Chains A and B, each alone.
Chain A
Amino acid sequence: MKKALLKRILGKTSFSILTLATVLMVGFLSGCSFGWDEFFYRKNSVNSRSDRILDLDGTGGAPQTGGRSCYSVVFFSDIHIGGKENDPDVLIDWMRVQKPLLEEEGFPLEFAVCAGDLTYSGIRSEYKDYAAMGERMERLAGVRLYSVLGNHDVYNSGWDEYRDLVFPYSSYYRFTTPSGESSLSWYFLDTASATLGTEQLEDLFFRFKHDSNRKVVVTHFPLLLKSSMYYCLQNIDERDMLIDEFCRNDVKIILTGHAHIEDGYTYGDYFKEVNLESYIKNYAAAVLYVDVKNGTFRVRTFHL
């Protein structure tokens, strides 16, 4: 009623402009916890964060899949610890229920992946809570958590906290899940700044060149979505190069977040992109069924 009255008094155009100004103001104020003092400069650029890949194979950091060709992985994204409506214990309890069921299906649960935005504003207390969640997940559900860095995680120079608290203490890493001649390589990329940066991009293409395995890639920013371009990697030069390299280097699936909606993209017969709904507010999580031998990847989404 009040809105209609206001609209009549102001007129449609003025009302629209006022609405926009309000949205901008709310956006500005709500962004205050994101470190506005770093508006023009942020230390720890993507090039300094991720110049060289960390290889977890042989370090004890890679998951032990026992040479199985069929296994499953829990995949969730945008949990935003520190935000509202994201109780992580719901996820851990659900995983404890899923674990025996997946074992029965012939796809034992091996590890979990979070596709970025682990925290809400990148501050230490939020990172501590996230790390504690990872510890509980390993202790109670027997599942190790692998994460990628999201844009929220670098607010307030949160990279320092990530490097200190979040396993494997790197934002750009990989491991292999061996399965005879059908090994699978998992690449976790740093797209927190909406770009891979020159160093990571060059290093990634070098690693791809010397890795003949099928590949899974996990990033925070999507390459392409059907519904919106706004949430995707914005540098189209970089995006086109990545799509090209992924097609030519046997990438089979890319797991992404950031958009908070269920979406994705199919790149011809080459690979699929799966963008998962956020855990925050939606309590969404997925099981990725991996059949390395046949090269199939199936995603089943749950709302917990």
Chain B
Amino acid sequence: MMSKVRFSAVLLAALFVFSPALFGQESSGGFFGARENVLGIQFEHNWTNSVNSDENAVDLTYSNHGQNMDFDFGIQFASKRQSFFSYARYKIFDGYRGWFGPCNFTELENFSDISFRQHWFAGLAGRVHFNDVFSFQGSSLIGVRGSTFKRIRGLDPVFRKDVAGDFSFSARPWHYKNDVEISAGISSWEMFWHPLFFAPIFFVSASGSVSDSVRIKSFVGMRTFDYFGISAMNEGVTLKIGAEVLF
């Protein structure tokens, strides 16, 4: 019975199709015929009640939007970590109403001089356009994340199964004028193998073109609760602002 429940939880998680906001890559072009290559820079600040409090970060990203594959990778320099991440989406179905296919995410993270972390995730991603204005996108990923403790001799690496995913609704009310897009949704990086648990970030993001090849982006996220709203784990606010060059 429990395996069925777990399977159902994973199935539901699979419905949380992708919002790349999870990885700081929210709708970086591609969907409405934008350019193939995107270079981005993003500044991030976190206010939380946990160890990442008042953390600043800079993300440098490159995205390539091909016919059948989108590929993003980036480097993050944060006050408490440095990381390299890559994210790829493979469009096995790409129709005029959207696309659907597998995706994978990897990250190598150097956390101060304490631990070195690895994340390997694979899952499904997709996007559906209801019309020219509204769309839904999301992803679900299942994988492993691990910590290797650099300063502690003899302590084995710690690995755990993990589930990540999120979904968002996007609106492009001024699509034909200045390419503005507003999206809102929920992302979660730690859903685990439990139907009652996830630690979501509610977010609103907006992007808009300032010229033919430059676009600005903003993101506001609120981390609020875990354990079904009962106990706050990582309350806080994340702000991001960045710019992309399309070519």
Contact = CB atoms under 8 A, between A and B. Distances in A.
Interface of A: 12-13, 15-17, 19-20, 23-24, 27-28, 31, 34-36, 39-40, 42, 45-47, 151, 154-155, 192-198, 201, 224, 229-230, 234-238, 240-241, 243-244, 247-248, 267-270
B233 interface: yes
Given A19-B1, A194-B231, A241 B161 contact: no
23 contacts: A16-B4, A16-B5, A16-B8, A16-B11, A19-B4, A20-B9, A46-B49, A151-B227, A151-B230, A194-B233, A198-B50, A230-B197, A234-B226, A234-B233, A235-B233, A237-B51, A240-B111, A244-B114, A247-B149, A248-B152, A268-B152, A268-B155, A269-B154
Nearest to A12: B4
Interface of B: 1, 4-5, 7-9, 11-12, 48-53, 80-81, 111, 114-115, 117, 145, 147, 149, 151-156, 158, 160-161, 190, 192-197, 199, 224-235
A23 B228 CA distance: 13
A39 B225 contact: yes
A241 to B, nearest CB: 6
Which one of B154, B193, B227, B230 has the greatest number of beta carbons of chain A within 10 Å? Answer: B230
Contact of B234 (A12, A230, A235, A247): A235
Given A19-B5, A20-B195, A34-B230, A244 B153 contact: no
The dominant DSSP class at the B interface is loop
B119 to A, nearest CB: 10
Nearest to A18: B8
Given A40-B224, A268-B152, A268-B154, A23 B195 contact: yes
Contacts of B81: 237
Contacts of A45: 49, 232, 235
A198 B226 contact: no
The dominant DSSP class at the A interface is helix
Contacts of A193: 49, 231-233
Which one of B51, B81, B226 has the greatest number of beta carbons of chain A within 10 Å? Answer: B51
Contacts of B194: 230
Contact of B115 (A39, A192, A244): A244
B160 to A, nearest CB: 4
Contact of A19 (B8, B51, B111, B229): B8
A15 B199 CA distance: 27
Nearest to A150: B231
Given A24-B195, A234-B234, A235-B52, 6 more contacts: A20-B195, A198-B49, A237-B80, A241-B114, A244-B149, A268-B155
Contacts of B111: 237, 240
Given A19-B1, A193-B233, A244-B114, A230 B193 contact: yes
B49 A20 contact: no
A31 B230 contact: yes
A15 B4 contact: yes
Contacts of B153: 268
Nearest to B232: A193
Nearest to B55: A237
B50 A235 contact: yes
A39 B114 contact: no
A277 to B, nearest CB: 20
A195 B80 contact: no
Given A23-B5, A40-B224, A230-B193, A238 B151 contact: no
A197 B47 CA distance: 12
A111 to B, nearest CB: 28
A269 B160 CA distance: 22
B26 to A, nearest CB: 23
Given A240-B115, A243-B149, A244-B114, A20 B227 contact: no
B118 to A, nearest CB: 12
A269 to B, nearest CB: 6
A270 B49 contact: no
A143 B50 CA distance: 35
A241 B81 CA distance: 13
